[in-house]
């Protein structure tokens, strides 16, 4: 058995630790968008594969017998490529996919389908907006230049931000409720834009918005091709024929 883990999430990191603890022959793959990725206890590769065909070639040439897609719920390109490549190579595929957040009493959510709809959902009058959506999807918000934006990236921007009034926080989660409340109060945040990523590591901002009575423009998850899905490292390890290690 030789396993390819398409990673980049906290769940993928837990899986890597469990796979290493079980002595699995596995490779952890990063897309390469983060300048300083988290170190893994497995051999690691960084960078894309060159589409579905390139991923299929890698599966064949590297002798991967199983693929685990533990990428971000909004990483649609690699997830679709994984479905196509695994079908082409008859390689078993499972998605380690966290549950989305569920709206709770007190939440003020404006649910939208995509980034373009999130831009449209912002008010015409100037507001202080926390864009909690990562660096890849910032540019469309330049269409709403009247707002003062707070951004948070894992790495420094590296180039000028495409927004006329933006302030960047460089920090890596997980984040705490107390920390998110302090940040939002200090920056006088009035509205949040977030993707429904699910999981515990990024949830604090949603809980903070509820506590402060702030509206959240919540971007729904994209539709992905049908595939086997599991929600825990233990389930994936069992699928691979091993018990989870290190409490995962």
Residues 39 and 135 in one domain: no
Distance CA 234, CA 231 (A): 9
pTM: 0.86
The answer to whether residue 36 scores a pLDDT higher than 70 is: no
Mean pLDDT over 213-230 rounds to 95
Residues 91 and 193 in one domain: no
227 occurs within a structural domain: yes
- Tokens describing residue 168: 């960047």
Q: Which residue has the tokens 């903070």?
A: 208
Strand order in the sheet with 229-230: 44-46, 26-30, 3-6, 66-69, 93-96, 229-230
244 occurs within a structural domain: no
47 occurs within a structural domain: yes
248 occurs within a structural domain: no
245 occurs within a structural domain: no
Task: Tally the domains of the chain.
Answer: 2
CATH number at residue 165: 3.40.50.720
Residues 143 and 228 in one domain: no
Residues 40 and 71 in one domain: yes
192 prior amide bond cis, ω within 30: no
Residues 232 and 197 in one domain: no
The answer to whether residue 15 scores a pLDDT higher than 70 is: yes
Residues 134 and 80 in one domain: no
Encode pLDDT of 119-168 as tens digits.
Answer: 999 999 999 999 999 888 899 999 999 999 999 988 776 678 899 999 99
Residues 13 and 82 in one domain: yes
Tell me which residue range forms the domain holding 235. Answer: 3-99+223-239
């Amino acid at each position: 058995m030789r396993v390819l883990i398409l990673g980049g999430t906290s769940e993928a990191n837990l899986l890597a630790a469990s796979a290493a603890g079980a002595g699995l022959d596995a490779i952890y793959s990063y897309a390469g968008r983060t300048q300083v990725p988290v170190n893994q206890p497995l051999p690691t590769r960084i960078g894309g594969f060159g589409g579905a065909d390139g991923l299929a070639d890698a599966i064949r040439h590297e002798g991967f017998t199983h693929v685990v897609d533990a990428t971000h719920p909004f990483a649609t390109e690699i997830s679709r490529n994984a479905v196509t490549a695994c079908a082409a190579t008859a390689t078993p595929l499972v998605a380690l996919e966290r549950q989305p957040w569920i709206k709770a009493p007190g939440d003020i959510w404006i649910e939208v389908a995509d980034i373009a709809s999130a831009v449209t959902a912002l008010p015409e009058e100037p507001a202080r907006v926390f864009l909690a959506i990562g660096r890849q999807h910032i540019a469309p918000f330049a269409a709403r230049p009247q707002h003062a934006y707070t951004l948070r990236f894992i790495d420094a921007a590296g180039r000028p931000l495409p927004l006329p009034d933006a302030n960047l926080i460089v920090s890596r989660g997980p984040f705490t409720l107390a920390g998110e409340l302090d940040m939002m109060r200090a920056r006088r945040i009035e509205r949040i834009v977030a993707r429904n990523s699910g999981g515990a590591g990024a949830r604090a901002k949603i809980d903070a918005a509820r506590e402060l009575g702030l509206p959240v423009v919540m971007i729904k998850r994209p539709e992905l091709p049908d595939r086997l899905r599991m929600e825990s490292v233990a389930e994936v390890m069992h699928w691979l024929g091993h018990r989870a290690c290190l409490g995962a």
